[in-house]
Amino acid sequence: MDTIIIRADASTAQGTGHVMRCLALTLALEEHGVAVILAVAECPEALVKRVEASGAQVERLAVEVGSREDAAATQALARQSGAGWVVLDGYRFDLAFQRALHGGGFKLGLVDDFAHLEGYEVDLVLNQNSHARAEDYPGVPALLLGPSHALLRAEFVQALHALHGRAARSHEGPVQRLLVTMGGSDPGNATTCILEALGALGDGQLETQVLVGAANPHRAAVDAMASGIPGCRVLDPVKDMVPLLEWADLAVCAGGSTLWEMAAFGVPVACVILAENQQPIVADLEQRGVVVDLGWDRELDAERCAKELGSLLADGARRQRMSELGRRLVDGAGAARVVAALVEVTGQPARR
């Protein structure tokens, strides 16, 4: 298993979570001696640069995402690089796309979120969400399901190892530090609505940091709203989220991959749904008591958000339970488990 092609995309509308979790898998594979090429047909230039800065190799494909030309270009890249595996992460890689790659003689993996296809012709499915079910993927030989396979990048894993053995931080006391982050894009401008809600709460003791993604088109509106809230600061994209997770007493974030990072660090979270695939994730985690669901970005109401957040700020026992349940779900070893499974399916050890 000397080379793997990972095929993923990102855009302002879709967000950056697919590419970022594939970066986590890329770096974990490279630690085990596997060469990885991350192939993208659609990806903001700022995100490409971030991925390349981590040392990962990016190949741009001049094709329409999910098209026959995309399948052909992906297959050609795999042949050219001598890859044995192709891993897909995206919702436009349908059954026909899978058959085209599988028919080329490659082992095929799929990173999925909500089992929306009529069938699957792959060797392995990774669905890291807590609502994932084996019956959604009939006939797939290898299934990696649930948050124990959450793809956290190396900086998170290393920080979690450093925390191992220490007493977990208590969340029963007053909330002093709040983190707001809607991922890479936030197309519906949920961030501004959340800030409006915080302004209505009028908690002068609350320090708030707002992380704005590189593909967010609403930076000016966010800056304007934040300027009227005491203790609120807007941050540019950061390379390392760990200090913010260790800093925050509470977070408001999108219902994507960031949830697993928050859970691993025991940060209580109120979620905003930005995309269809996030709805079942957030619904399941709220039922489990891990998050508070604030609803869809397109339906956000500042008054209702203020009420929900005010209730959460006042309930230390609830935040403590959320923190404990999150840490039980995600232990940080997900990427290592996925690498081990890929090696096992291949039937040969990775080079070190």
Q: Which of 128-137, 176-185, 210-219 has the lowest mean pLDDT?
A: 210-219
Looking at the structure, tell me whether residues 316 and 168 fall in a common domain.
yes
Looking at the structure, tell me whether residues 129 and 198 fall in a common domain.
no
DSSP code string of 23-44: HHHHHHHHHTT-EEEEEESS--
DSSP code string of 257-313: THHHHHHHTT--EEEEE-STTHHHHHHHHHHTTSEEEEEEGGG--HHHHHHHHHHHH
CATH code: domain of residue 307? 3.40.50.2000
CATH code: domain of residue 105? 3.40.50.11190
**Neighbouring residues of 100: CB distance < 8 A, sequence distance ≥ 6:** 68, 71, 72, 75
Q: Residue 349's pLDDT is what? A: 43
Determine the angle formed by the axes of helices 219-226 and 190-201, rounding to 10 degrees.
0
Query: 116 — alpha (psi -120 to 50), left (phi > 0) or beta?
Result: alpha
Let me know if residue 351 belongs to a domain: no
Q: Which of 146, 137, 138, 75 is nearest to 107 (CA)?
A: 75
Region 108-134: mean pLDDT is 95
Angstrom distance (rounded) from CA 173 to CA 170: 7
pLDDT digits over 280-300, tens only?
Answer: 999 999 999 999 999 999 999
Q: What tokens were used for 112?
A: 């999925």
What is the pLDDT confidence band of residue 153, given thresholds at 50, 70 and 90?
Answer: very high
Q: What is the model's pTM?
A: 0.91
Looking at the structure, tell me whether residues 115 and 171 fall in a common domain.
no
Q: Residue 351's pLDDT is what? A: 38
Region 236-262: mean pLDDT is 93
Model confidence at 190: pLDDT above 60 = yes
Contact, 38 vs 20, CB < 8 A?
no
Domain residues for the domain of 168 are 163-329
Domain count, the chain: 2
Looking at the structure, tell me whether residues 122 and 47 fall in a common domain.
yes
Looking at the structure, tell me whether residues 90 and 212 fall in a common domain.
no
Contact, 33 vs 3, CB < 8 A?
no
